[in-house]
Chain A
Amino acid sequence: MIRAALVLLLCGLTLVLGLFTTVVQNANHARAAELSILQRQWEMREAANAQASTLTQAHLPGVRNMPLDPKRQRKELELRKQDTTLAQAKVVAQ
């Protein structure tokens, strides 16, 4: 009787373990898929942060930020030159 009970218990435990493993594996699967999505989103946010932090760290107090893109940098430099010329013109006019 005891032996039968033990065997029954063991079988029950085996089933529970199997079931538990299935649940854990399924949860792992779902979490891994979710983590993968989060990982991709994190990568994109990291890229945006890297661009923003480079600009922030490089900021010179009192000077307008320069865009990171070289083409836009050239435009900005042209604008700055025009600004200077305008400022000089004002001084002359005064």
Chain B
Amino acid sequence: MIRNAVPESASGLRPASAYFVVASVLCIVAGWVAWIALGGEPWGGFRPTREQDPPPEYTICDRSGRPLAAFVQRLDLTLSPRAMWQAHTPETIVLGLARAFGASTSAQKMLERMMPDAKQGVVRTSWKLDTDQARALDLFLRRGGVDPESLPNPIRGMWIERADPKSNAQSYTLVWQPLTALSKQVRESHLKRQAKNPLRWSRELADGIAQALYGEAAIRPGQDEKQLEKQRARIWEGLMPTRFVAAMPDFDATRAPEVWALLNDEHVASHQMSIERGRNRRYPLGPMRVLGGRGFVDRKLAEQRALASFGVDASALATAEQRSAFIVSLSADDRRRLEVATWKQLAEPEAIVGLELVCDQLLRGEAWNGLEREAASYEFFRHRPIRQVARGQGSQARSYYIDSRAASDTPRVVTTLDARLQVEVGRQLDKVMERSKPALAMAMVIDVESGDVLAVDSREAYPFGGFAPTTHSYTPGSTTKVIVMASALEQGVIHPSDIIDVGHGEYHVPGSSRIIHEAERPGRSGRITAAECLAFSLNAGLVQIGFKLEPEVLRGYFRKLHYAELPHSGFPGERPGTLPPLPWKKSGTWASVCFGHEYLTTMWQQGAALAAVIRGGVWKPLRLIDRVEQNSAHWDLPFAAGERVFSAKTCETVREMMMLGAREGTGSGVASPAKFPGAIVGTKTGTAEKVPNEICLHVELAHQAWHAKQGTSCNKRCRAKLSGSARVHPTCYTSSMVIFGRREDGGRELMVYVVVDDKTSGERYGSAAAGPAAAAILREALGLSAFMQPLVDVDPNGFVPSTLPSNSEHGIQAIPTLGKAR
């Protein structure tokens, strides 16, 4: 009975089955929702757009984490003039943007940037019209439409001119003023419907021009829509040829929200105008030679790298012919891919010189593969909502957020540089360049104990390739006497109190006709102690001391100090310098080396060697990179093990001699105890005169700069010719000074080394040309001055006594002035 009472369903299914089907659907939907909510992939029925920044590279910081070189985000306002001005009124957009950018940009300037085809607001098309076409187009422009029945309503801002004004040829062209022709007034005076729609007006213009130009062959509205669009595109290509322009590259980012709001309000589509993101390598403390820079590779290298990325052995295709032959043998598809890869290499700036390159190469090493390099990305879906189309707002697609990921923390390469000191070193070198007008000036500050380079910089009077402290070889002169003296003391062939006869400014090398003169004003003459020989930098004394050592031994010490070998600083193009091979002739190389002649060194090598003696005899390579940091982790770079060259006792003796030099000797003019109150200071000066066949640096650098401009290089013959060329002044000198010091109340010991090569103004002596800069840098480094100004004692209230006259009338004894904070 019950069975009979159950009605039959139309589908033949029992109600329970329907219940089951509906429940299943519900379960599936619920399950799907739960899966998505728990992190499952959403349905991929649409294609999301993904924008991705380049992956983070590295920031170069000073020892306290202050950025010296960093990538900084940049915003560019880019547009397609052709697409933009078809759909928008120039006046509205330009005025709006000028308002958004504020006082920094005028509307006129803005317009010029956004209409690159226009010269003084007028675009001259490249069309060459014959008489009939010109007449038809002129008629259209005068009548203001294609309808012969309508009343004439000329289109303002468009007219016909001769294609070549200087020629009588019957060739014409269309000239137009976009600001007028696309203005609201002109548009509204011509459009009967949708008068507020600029796109409608630009289409009418294009259709009218096409009908005038092509006559019966023109496609008219209502005909094939696709062909009509193509025809309009062709006309606009002639009216506004430029497809892409960065109107405001790297604009002030604080203005961006206002600009973006304007683009949104005006319904500007992304293909018409957009704010693009990019990044710039920036040097917030200014350019520094030590940092180097980034640049672009040449086509040859880019092609080689592109080939390598395709797995082709680039060394097998070294010549241009080999590469061309290989490229021709590729399929069209592979050729295109190779071209794209080559352009990618050409377009991407990369570290090419200086610390930038050192850090780049360091982080490319396998050891650093573990650093996070996640690029920032933004995923969104762009489409046109149906309701917008229904409202007639269909031209602008909307973007919908899907996902975004922040970039991983940019790795920081922490250097040993002290930014403040580095800036002050730069300022001092600028002063040296101004005062002495040398071809080249270099300075470095070293933490004696660790070998850390706290500051290093150079200034050149000519364009100079590479980083001078590691690439410029020079004759060091008398600062070498420190090493000769240390070698002699170490060998026990001399004692500080030994008496040496240095004569009176000249020394006759025994057994030869060579006479050695003193470079600097001899502060002592006759019979003096060995210590005074170094303190007063007497060539005669040091030559006699050097003669007490066998050349093999003396050269051996130089080799132990790593002269004549690459210093492996990491800087590109570093030079090893030269050390003459044995045997050394007594009247020649042997004597010359004793006062720093006949061998070449770089500042990097000389600085490391001098620091080794001042340190106590242990040579250490100079260190410029301390650690790499990311997030909260840091990885210290290992310190190189030191190599003992001299005993601590020897070096202590040399240090005392250098301190005597600062007190009484050649350094006393700039480093006397009165000038360094509360500090222990030692100096050694150097003045090397270039020998007659040596090329003056001014001549050499000017010549190299000329070659670089011509794209050539100076060969052996060219160099031989150059060595005979006239000097800019009768004698050329390399002046230098090394100064070390520490505060009596403790703290680190520092060494400053300044080299001034081929100065053309002022005194030649190392103490005069390089000394003031070296002493000023050391004072600053030891905290004895701030910003190169002497420190002023302040009273407990933070005031300094005023130099103003007292005002007894008001009972005021002195007007307090604020002291400088120290």
A-to-B contact residues, CB < 8 Å: 3, 6-7, 10-11, 13-14, 17, 21, 29, 31-33, 35-41, 43-48, 50-51, 54-55, 57-58, 60, 62-63, 66, 68-70, 73, 76-77, 81, 84
Q: Mask for B40-73, Cβ within 8 A of A = 1, else 0?
A: 0000000000000000000000000111101011
Contact B401 A73 (CB under 8 A): no
**Which residues of chain B are near A50, meaning CB under 8 Å?**
72-73, 253
**Which residues of chain A are near B73, meaning CB under 8 Å?**
46-47, 50-51
Contact A44 B400 (CB under 8 A): no
Interface residues of B in 521-577 (CB under 8 A from A): none
**Which residues of chain B are near A36, meaning CB under 8 Å?**
380, 398-401
A-B CB proximity, top 7 nearest = A35-B401, A58-B284, A44-B256, A48-B253, A32-B400, A47-B73, A47-B253
Q: How far is the CA of A70 from the CA of B286 in the complex (A)?
A: 8
Contact B23 A68 (CB under 8 A): no
Q: How far is the CA of A14 from the CA of B28 in the complex (A)?
A: 13
Contact A39 B285 (CB under 8 A): no
Query: Given the known A-B contacts A44-B256, A47-B75, A51-B73, are A58 and B285 also in contact in the complex, defined by CB atoms under 8 Å?
Result: yes
State whether the Cβ of B700 lies closer than 8 Å to any Cβ in chain A.
no
Contact B398 A33 (CB under 8 A): yes
Q: How far is the CA of A3 from the CA of B786 in the complex (A)?
A: 93
State whether the Cβ of B152 lies closer than 8 Å to any Cβ in chain A.
no
Contact A44 B75 (CB under 8 A): yes
State whether the Cβ of B275 lies closer than 8 Å to any Cβ in chain A.
yes
State whether the Cβ of B420 lies closer than 8 Å to any Cβ in chain A.
yes
A21 → B minimal CB distance (Å): 8
Contact B257 A58 (CB under 8 A): no
Output the residue of A21, A31, A58, A69 with the most chain B CB within 10 A.
A58
State whether the Cβ of B323 lies closer than 8 Å to any Cβ in chain A.
no
**Which residues of chain B are near A29, meaning CB under 8 Å?**
385, 400
Contact B402 A54 (CB under 8 A): no
Contact B19 A58 (CB under 8 A): no
Q: How far is the CA of A35 from the CA of B403 in the complex (A)?
A: 10
State whether the Cβ of B277 lies closer than 8 Å to any Cβ in chain A.
yes
Contact B287 A14 (CB under 8 A): no
**Which residues of chain B are near A73, meaning CB under 8 Å?**
283, 286-287
B44 → A minimal CB distance (Å): 16
**Which residues of chain A are near B189, meaning CB under 8 Å?**
none
Which A residue sits closest to B427, measured CB to CB? Answer: A84
Contact B67 A39 (CB under 8 A): no
**A32, A35, A51: the one within 8 Å of B253 (CB):** A51
> How many chain B residues touch the partner (CB < 8 A)?
50
Which B residue sits closest to A88, measured CB to CB? Answer: B431
Which B residue sits closest to A4, measured CB to CB? Answer: B15
Which B residue sits closest to A6, measured CB to CB? Answer: B19
Contact B260 A40 (CB under 8 A): yes
B128 → A minimal CB distance (Å): 41
Which B residue sits closest to A63, measured CB to CB? Answer: B423
**Which residues of chain B are near A14, meaning CB under 8 Å?**
22, 26
Query: Given the known A-B contacts A33-B400, A63-B787, A68-B72, are A47 and B287 also in contact in the complex, defined by CB atoms under 8 Å?
Result: no
State whether the Cβ of B142 lies closer than 8 Å to any Cβ in chain A.
no
Contact A10 B19 (CB under 8 A): yes
Contact A7 B287 (CB under 8 A): no
**B22, B74, B378, B381: the one within 8 Å of A47 (CB):** B74
State whether the Cβ of B715 lies closer than 8 Å to any Cβ in chain A.
no
11 contacts between A and B (CB under 8 A): A14-B22, A14-B26, A17-B26, A36-B399, A39-B380, A39-B404, A57-B66, A58-B284, A66-B284, A68-B72, A84-B431
State whether the Cβ of B600 lies closer than 8 Å to any Cβ in chain A.
no
**Which residues of chain B are near A68, meaning CB under 8 Å?**
72, 280, 282, 284
Contact B260 A41 (CB under 8 A): yes
Query: Given the known A-B contacts A33-B400, A39-B404, A54-B70, are A7 and B15 also in contact in the complex, defined by CB atoms under 8 Å?
Result: yes
Q: How far is the CA of A21 from the CA of B29 in the complex (A)?
A: 10
State whether the Cβ of B696 lies closer than 8 Å to any Cβ in chain A.
no
Output the residue of B18, B401, B430 with the most chain A CB within 10 A.
B401
State whether the Cβ of B769 lies closer than 8 Å to any Cβ in chain A.
no
Contact B401 A66 (CB under 8 A): no
**Which residues of chain A are near B280, meaning CB under 8 Å?**
68
**Which residues of chain A are near B23, meaning CB under 8 Å?**
10
Which B residue sits closest to A10, measured CB to CB? Answer: B22
B188 → A minimal CB distance (Å): 31
A92 → B minimal CB distance (Å): 14
Contact B277 A43 (CB under 8 A): yes
Q: How far is the CA of A2 from the CA of B527 in the complex (A)?
A: 129
State whether the Cβ of B250 lies closer than 8 Å to any Cβ in chain A.
yes
State whether the Cβ of B442 lies closer than 8 Å to any Cβ in chain A.
no
**Which residues of chain A are near B287, meaning CB under 8 Å?**
70, 73
Contact A77 B286 (CB under 8 A): yes
Output the residue of A36, A45, A81 with the most chain B CB within 10 A.
A36
Query: Given the known A-B contacts A14-B22, A68-B284, are A58 and B74 also in contact in the complex, defined by CB atoms under 8 Å?
Result: no
A90 → B minimal CB distance (Å): 12
Contact A69 B250 (CB under 8 A): yes
Q: How far is the CA of A33 from the CA of B401 in the complex (A)?
A: 6
B284 → A minimal CB distance (Å): 4
Q: How far is the CA of A68 from the CA of B399 in the complex (A)?
A: 33
B594 → A minimal CB distance (Å): 40
Which A residue sits closest to B380, measured CB to CB? Answer: A36
Q: Mask for B783-803, Cβ within 8 A of A = 1, else 0?
A: 000110000000000000000
Q: How far is the CA of A48 from the CA of B250 in the complex (A)?
A: 11
State whether the Cβ of B319 lies closer than 8 Å to any Cβ in chain A.
no
Contact A54 B404 (CB under 8 A): no
**Which residues of chain A are near B19, meaning CB under 8 Å?**
6-7, 10
Q: How far is the CA of A46 from the CA of B97 in the complex (A)?
A: 21
Contact B256 A60 (CB under 8 A): no
